[in-house]
Structure 1
């Protein structure tokens, strides 16, 4: 997952997210229905929100949740998710 602020330690700042030719969310867009992809994004946002205060990385987790919420809105608008943005 790519966040706009690479200083957060999110995917944009981590090499293991930069080496794959396709990100998992891109593969999901190829094979999932819009409803399935929307549910995935919503579920991940909820996951990051609920555990944010227990891992010692609350800001980072809330930023990740925000990214998944943005992606869920993109899905509802029919806009393809670009994890490199």
Structure 2
């Protein structure tokens, strides 16, 4: 039986996006910035107050990391 090969044009490369810098960003803007980059920011410390004045103090993964689209970026909001 003859061998068959798959043309390279049919193999789709894995697409990645870069995690944006969220540290120092106002909490009210962090989620939008993450979505614009193709990731989802999820607060790890949900019991924060004054979200309008709070800023992101930490994130995981770090800014610039290559992740799959829709990946979760964990954020910690200053209180």
TM-score range, shorter chain: under 0.3
Which of 1 and 2 has greater Rg? Answer: 2
> TM-score, normalised on structure 1?
0.20
Q: Hey, which of these two has a bigger chunk of helix by percent?
A: 1
> TM-score, normalised on structure 2?
0.21
Q: Hey, which of these two has a bigger chunk of strand by percent?
A: 2
